[in-house]
Amino acid sequence: MTRYTATALAHPNIAFIKYWGNRDAALRLPVNGSISMNLEGLFTRTTVSFQPSLAFDELVINGREVTGPGLERVSGILEVVRQAAGIPFRAEVLSETNFPTGAGIASSASAFAALALAAVKAAGLSWSESAISRLARRGSGSACRSIPGGFVEWQMGAGDDDSFAVSIAPPSHWDLADCVAVVSSGHKATGSTEGHALAPTSPLQSARVADAPRRLEICRRAILERDFGSLSAIIELDSDMMHAVMMTGQPALFYWKPATLAVMEAVRAWRRDGLQAAYTVDAGPNVHVICPQSEMDAVTTLLREIPGVTQVLRATVGGPARLF
Ligand code: PMV
């Protein structure tokens, strides 16, 4: 008997080369490729059950029922799966995330990756990794990068069919870590869906996009050659370029707090003193400090000394989304 139920687990990821701006907002087709690292130890676990008795899709996140736009976004993914599998049933979606929201790690990547994998399996479809990555992309662009494992590249592609993520190296390839300096746990003012739409209003966005293939190439090579010096320079440049675009759009988005800049400056000073560490900042004020795992404790201790840093979350390199 078909049970129409499956549970999947996916990690969030931190982008080294950022995705910012869509050329098709509905399909979430990006204006540039991106590269990221999955974050081990942090995860979303989601169960999808298609049930003949349900009149509507139901969504429960960390024990709380979600309706409105959040549910609609999830139903959009379920609808793609229902049509592909020929299943008429609505679904119950139960999701749990083990890291605090508002801690500077986007839960939408792990959430939509786990949802896509669980929904495809619950419907009995035998889809390839790239097909599941494409589906996750439609929920949240960065979610497509949480389907493959380790160090991952989202190839922007020419359309829906070839815009998906692939692993460029497994987690064991390079013992890196992400120490997240939390400087504010308040919810961000402007979410990334809205932010992507504002990207073209900055006169700097076209230059950022035009230069993306060069940054991707440097980042890819730095990962393959485990070259921390090149990686540091390119991820800091890429993060600064994205924030320059954010700050110069209309309306301008300022995600940084004073402590954000304090951490960024400290990381550069530590590097001058010989510590291997580099910063990258997403659509929020918290700073992700990338370092070799051997430097994690030193980085954590130093971060905790900076006024305004309230918490440090740590993660190593995570594997692919998987059935649970
Ligand atoms: O996947 P979204 O729509 O939440 O966008 C992610 C945007 C950034 O986190 C700022 C960059 C990235 O590539 O993850």
219-244 confidence digits (pLDDT tens): 999 999 999 999 999 999 999 999 99
Mean pLDDT of 96-120: 89
Tell me which of 142, 147, 180 to substitute to probe ligand 1's pocket, judged by most ligand atoms within 8 Å of the beta carbon: 142
Per-residue pLDDT at 189 exceeds 80: no
Mean pLDDT of 129-138: 98
Mean pLDDT of 199-228: 98
Beta carbon of 106 within 6 Å of any ligand 1 atom: yes
pLDDT value at residue 106: 78
Beta carbon of 15 within 6 Å of any ligand 1 atom: yes
Domain 173-317 CATH superfamily: GHMP kinase, C-terminal domain (3.30.70.890)
Q: How many CA atoms lie within 13 A of 1 on its CB side?
A: 2
SS3 readout for the chain: CCCCEEEEEECCEEEEECCCCEEECCCCEECCCEEEEEECCCCEEEEEEEECCCCCCEEEECCEEECCHHHHHHHHHHHHHHHHHCCCCEEEEEEEECCCCCCCCCHHHHHHHHHHHHHHHHCCCCCCHHHHHHHHHHHCHHHHHHCCCCEEEEECCCCHHHCEEEEEECHHHCCEEEEEEECCCCCCCCCHHHHHHHHHHCCCHHHHHHCHHHHHHHHHHHHHCCCHHHHHHHHHHHHHHHHHHHHCCCCCCCCCCHHHHHHHHHHHHHHHCCCCCEEECCCCCCEEEEEEHHHHHHHHHHHHCCCCCCEEEEECECCCCEEC
Per-residue pLDDT at 155 exceeds 70: yes
- Cite the residue boundaries of each domain of the chain with CATH code 3.30.230.10: 2-172
Phi, psi of 110 (to 5 degrees): -70, -35
110-131 confidence digits (pLDDT tens): 999 999 999 999 999 999 999 9
pLDDT value at residue 3: 75
Mean pLDDT of 123-149: 98
CB 309 within 8 A of CB 269: no
Tell me which of 282, 286, 287 to substitute to probe ligand 1's pocket, judged by most ligand atoms within 8 Å of the beta carbon: 282
pLDDT value at residue 187: 64
| % of the chain at pLDDT higher than 90 | 93
156-178 confidence digits (pLDDT tens): 999 999 999 999 999 999 999 99
Model's pTM, two decimal places? 0.97
| Rounded CA separation 221/102 (Å) | 32
Output the six-digit token pair for 19: 């995705």
Beta carbon of 177 within 6 Å of any ligand 1 atom: no
Name the residue among 219, 171, 133 with its Cα closest to residue 319: 171
For ligand 1, the distance from its centroid to the CA atom of residue 260, given in whole angstroms, is: 18
Given 3.40.720.10, 3.90.1170.30, 3.40.50.2000, 3.30.230.10, which CATH number is that of 2-172?
3.30.230.10
pLDDT value at residue 223: 98
Would you mind telling me the total number of residues written for the chain in this entry? Answer: 324
CB-count exposure of residue 175 (10 Å: 0-12, 13-18, 19+): middle
Beta carbon of 13 within 6 Å of any ligand 1 atom: no
- Cite the residue boundaries of each domain of the chain with CATH code 3.30.70.890: 173-317
CB 258 within 8 A of CB 308: yes
Per-residue pLDDT at 258 exceeds 90: yes
CB 122 within 8 A of CB 50: yes
Name the residue among 313, 318, 245, 304 with its Cα closest to residue 105: 313
For ligand 1, the distance from its centroid to the CA atom of residue 273, given in whole angstroms, is: 31
Beta carbon of 144 within 6 Å of any ligand 1 atom: no
Tell me which of 17, 18, 19, 287 to substitute to probe ligand 1's pocket, judged by most ligand atoms within 8 Å of the beta carbon: 19
23-68 confidence digits (pLDDT tens): 999 999 999 999 999 999 999 999 999 999 999 999 999 999 999 9
| % of the chain at pLDDT higher than 70 | 97
Output the six-digit token pair for 216: 């991707």
For ligand 1, atom 4, the nearest C-alpha belongs to 192
Instruction: Report the nearest atom of ligand 1 relative to the CA of 109.
Output: 1
Per-residue pLDDT at 280 exceeds 60: yes
Output the six-digit token pair for 266: 């400290």
pLDDT value at residue 107: 87
